[in-house]
Amino acid sequence: MLKIDRLSTSYKTIHGDVRVVNNLDFTINDNEIFGIAGESGCGKSTLLKALYDIIDFPMQVDSGRVILSGEKEGNPFHFETGEIRKTWWNNISYVPQAAQSVMNPITHLRNQFLDSIPESQRKNETKKQTLERCAAYLKELDLSPDLLGAYPFQLSGGMRQRVIIALATFMSPNVVLADEPTTALDVVVQRGILMMLMRLQRQLKNTLVLVSHDMGVHYQITNRMGIMYSGSFVELGKTEDIFRDPIHPYTEMLIGALPRVGDKSQKAGIPGRPPALTNPPPGCRFAPRCPKAKEICHRECPEFVEVRPGRFAACHMLGKEGI
């Protein structure tokens, strides 16, 4: 459905090109919730932009491509990097980190809905009929149809996010990409947004790709996940397997830093910070922070290999040191 084929992207800067996504090669399946986890600055949002084909200067694709293919209402489709934007909203849509950044603050929501529905998808309707469909859809999602007459600034952060999710799913896209959709929202609203995303995915039986730095979010809703560090995946597999038995030291530390109900012990966190992508360390990029690092780790980059069916990791110590 969504194939990421040896994709590398970078940003052009005055100091030269800075590689942010490094030779990623994996597939996201139909009808699954796929999570992308990792600390800030590891390339998650850049990867999502590449999946959505928002490749605007200074971002560039150095090699590889993204392939979006499948079938909708009996019609097969196939788009690659450079073409995917032709099918925005219809086959693939995007829920950004801050809903207000994509909404025009001085335009009624009804116009924002109309602007996002191409003529070809209006099914020969009048504007009034399309808006009636929008109102019915909002109602189906337990949102008031009166929202169509509101301006974005009149809504709370949580309500704006719900409206953006409604907008992103209105045309039943095959893939929905969500970039930190619960950031800056309080925990009760966060839960409501996650439940809404899960419910829509089940209803549409489509693919949801969820970027979040919050491992708790991944545990709650994703089926499979990839752990990203410094532009590459260090581990990928079924979410429940990763939480039950993390392989990579970075994954283990991310999970170990999660607070748990009833556990009063002090959480240590992960010492240090991800390396600057302008000057990454040689060898394994996690080595400066890894308690299990050996000499080879500072010299050679570990390969990303299939450890067991469907489970991948990149670490020199696989099979040793309890990894």
User: Of 139-147, 177-185, 237-245, 290-298, which segment contacts ligand SF4 by CB under 6 A?
Assistant: 290-298
* Closer residue to ligand SF4, CB minimum distance, 132 or 321: 321
User: Of 57-65, 176-184, 271-279, 313-321, which segment contacts ligand SF4 by CB under 6 A?
Assistant: 313-321
Looking at residue 267, what DSSP letter applies? P
Residue selected from 52, 79, 94, 286 as contacting ligand SF4 according to rule CB under 6 A = 286
Residue selected from 70, 89, 293, 311 as contacting ligand SF4 according to rule CB under 6 A = 293
**Long-range contacts of the stretch 130-134 (C-beta < 8 A, 24+):** 134/110, 134/170
Number of other residues whose CB lies within 10 A of the CB of residue 87: 19
Residue selected from 93, 297, 304, 312 as contacting ligand SF4 according to rule CB under 6 A = 297
- In whole angstroms, the minimum distance from the beta carbon of 316 to ligand SF4 comes to 4
* Closer residue to ligand SF4, CB minimum distance, 91 or 251: 251
Q: Show contacts with ligand SF4 in window 234-273 (CB under 6 A).
A: 248-249
**Long-range contacts of the stretch 154-160 (C-beta < 8 A, 24+):** 157/99, 157/100, 157/184, 157/185, 157/189, 158/185, 158/186, 158/189, 158/192, 158/193, 160/99, 160/100, 160/103
Residues 249, 320: Cα–Cα separation, whole Å: 12
How many residues sit close enough to ligand SF4 to count as binding (CB under 6 A)? 13
User: Of 25-33, 106-114, 130-138, 288-296, which segment contacts ligand SF4 by CB under 6 A?
Assistant: 288-296
Residues 52, 96: Cα–Cα separation, whole Å: 11
Note whether 307 binds ligand SF4 by CB under 6 A. no
H or E element, residue 168: helix 157-169
Burial of 276 (C-beta count, 10 Å sphere; 0-12/13-18/19+): exposed
Residue selected from 72, 133, 238, 292 as contacting ligand SF4 according to rule CB under 6 A = 292
User: Of 79-87, 147-155, 271-279, 282-290, which segment contacts ligand SF4 by CB under 6 A?
Assistant: 282-290
Looking at residue 213, what DSSP letter applies? S
Phi, psi of 260 (to 5 degrees): -125, 150
- In whole angstroms, the minimum distance from the beta carbon of 139 to ligand SF4 comes to 50
Residues 276, 88: Cα–Cα separation, whole Å: 33
Binding site for ligand SF4 (CB under 6 A): 248-249, 284, 286-287, 290, 292-293, 297, 302, 315-317
